[in-house]
Structure 1
Amino acid sequence: MTIPSLPSLLGVFAHPDDESLLAGGVLAQHHAAGAPTAVVTATWTPTSRRAPELAAALAVLGAGPPRLLGYGDARNPESAPGEVRLVDAPLDEAVGRLVAHIRDLRPEVVVTHDAVGQLTGHPDHRRTHQITLLAVEAAGLAHLYPEAGEPWQPRALYAATHSESGVGRLGALLEKAGKSVLAVPDTYVTTTVDVSPWATTKWRAILAHRGEVARERPLPGILARLPETERAKIISTEFFTRLTPGPVPGDPHRLTA
């Protein structure tokens, strides 16, 4: 299979496993095309129990070593003992930490959570969305965060999302587990990527988050209990909204710079 040239890609997500669940397919796709890929994770620390699982998942996806901002998960105090929660962190500080990673990696495309908090509305998802929007703009401005490196302006920012018509079977599974389903209107989705060629890689990355797979309520655990064919249908499509700064037309089938 000939893979077209694709831009370098940085994923910025709230928790370990978000990268695999929401953009594992496009991360694997871009890596397979020879494009540099990386992931910044806003919560949990390098010494926490989930850090090795994150490292294993990123290795599967070809997305380099973990880059953790080191903040606490809003709902899990063991994520970063003694550290401030992401939702309580000073905004300027959190943006500056992310700007440093953007300037170091110099990605052409950045992907993060959507504004509603990714189906379940987790406050860390919403906060990560806000921080990323600010950091992508600030990274290109020399007068902001001069200590964070030479300016670099990504060419495109995408929000990983789920459309009302595309949430499908996943919505019912989340509701059964007592979770909310905050899908966005179909018109908000600018890019729908068929990642079925990379679905096996994506699933291996999700499985690397062993602690979440072993539990019933987290999405990795829900997916692990499904028949393989049903699971493949759910994870083989990824939805995005291009934000520059609002939804604009783009290639409807892949992420472009």
Structure 2
Amino acid sequence: MSASTNNLSRLSVLACFAHPDDEGFASGGLLAKLAAGGARVTLVCATNGDVGEISDPSLATPENLWQVRKQELRNAMDVTGIPDVRFLDYRDSGMDGTEDNRHPRAYCNSDRDVVLADLESIMRETNPHVVLTHDPTGGYGHPDHITMSAHATAAVSRVADPDGATPLLYYVCFPRDVFRRWWQEMADRNITPPFAAEAIDELGTPDSDVTTTVDVMQWVDVKLRSLSCHRTQLHDSGPFHQLPDDVVNMLMGTEFYQLVTPPGAVDLLAAI
């Protein structure tokens, strides 16, 4: 990586997401920045992305998509510079109200105590200074995002030490204003956005919840190359690929977070 950054070798970070590729759009730049600075980053992925899209039938089948997506995440993290990738191996729950929600291995049906025990064990092993996860809205309401947010938040509470170090918990945010900007950039170019205009005011994190804005423009190239590893999920003709490169770089060059706990903590992400 050509971009320079502070020496972060003493920093330990745990990123907890629901699916392969969740890490990329909202926090791929920060993860690249952390890796470039030498931080110890562990990525936990709750599901294997079993019911995601298949952009090209030559890449996967519905039966083996879960295996392909796990490898895509490993490939993406090779680009980002994060070798410690761990899967909880639950099944993708799909969107709310779908048949996949009823699958016994769906993450939304997981045993809360089992998941919390797994996350607590990983936290005690890696001793993170920072924990990243989805915000409670799930960005666009995905049940697995919402479930991981709840689980990671509860696990941080379990490992919190009132008399010692307590991890800083950050929610990864998709501010509503950002969703509007993406929609408008597409609409202005006669590109059909992936979300309807009437949903814009309901998608994402309330803007007022954002506490931390991180400039990751220096790591946009790494972020985009990492994202491109999720080949099954990216259509060459999709709305994202139809935007000009300079617009994509501008939109992807800033990331947003909410520092949740502990109350009154110094905002570490703002300082690195």
TM bucket by the smaller chain? 0.7 to 0.9
Give the total of aligned pairs.
237
Q: 1:75/1:166 Cα in 2 relative to 1: closer, same or farther (>3 Å)?
A: closer
How far the C-alpha of 1:233 sits from its partner, in A, is 1.2
Identical amino acids, percent of aligned pairs: 31
Bigger shift: residues 65-74 or 46-55: 46-55
Q: Contact 1:192/1:237 (CA < 8 Å) preserved in 2?
A: yes
Tell me the equivalent position of 2:53. Answer: none
Tell me the equivalent position of 1:146. Answer: none
Tell me the equivalent position of 1:144. Answer: none
Q: 1:17/1:232 Cα in 2 relative to 1: closer, same or farther (>3 Å)?
A: same
Equivalents in 1 of 2:166, 2:242: separation in Å? Answer: 38
Query: Any unmatched runs of 5+ in structure 2?
Result: 50-64
Q: Contact 2:193/2:239 (CA < 8 Å) preserved in 1?
A: no
The structure 1 residue matched to 2:177, chosen from 157, 162, 165, is 165
Equivalents in 2 of 1:165, 1:83: separation in Å? Answer: 37
Tell me the equivalent position of 1:210. Answer: 231
Matching of residue 30 in structure 1 with residue 34 in structure 2: yes
Equivalents in 2 of 1:249, 1:100: separation in Å? Answer: 24
Write the deviation string for residues 36-74 of structure 1: whole angstroms up to 9, x where unpaired: 112100111896220110000111111214211111111
Tell me the equivalent position of 1:58. Answer: 77
Write the deviation string for residues 201-236 of structure 1: whole angstroms up to 9, x where unpaired: 0000100000001376xxxx5423321111111111
For 1:23-172, list aligned pairs within 5 A: 23-44=27-48, 48-75=67-94, 84-118=105-139, 120-140=140-160, 154-172=166-184
SS in 1 for 2:141: coil
How far the C-alpha of 1:83 sits from its partner, in A, is 6.0
Query: Any unmatched runs of 5+ in structure 1?
Result: 142-151
SS in 2 for 1:49: helix
Tell me the TM-score normalised to structure 2 length.
0.77
Q: 1:253/1:235 Cα in 2 relative to 1: closer, same or farther (>3 Å)?
A: same
Q: 1:47/1:154 Cα in 2 relative to 1: closer, same or farther (>3 Å)?
A: farther
The letter of the residue matching 1:75 is G
How far the C-alpha of 1:104 sits from its partner, in A, is 2.0
Q: Contact 2:13/2:128 (CA < 8 Å) preserved in 1?
A: yes
Equivalents in 2 of 1:255, 1:99: separation in Å? Answer: 27
Tell me the equivalent position of 1:226. Answer: 243
Q: 1:54/1:255 Cα in 2 relative to 1: closer, same or farther (>3 Å)?
A: farther
Tell me the TM-score normalised to structure 1 length.
0.81
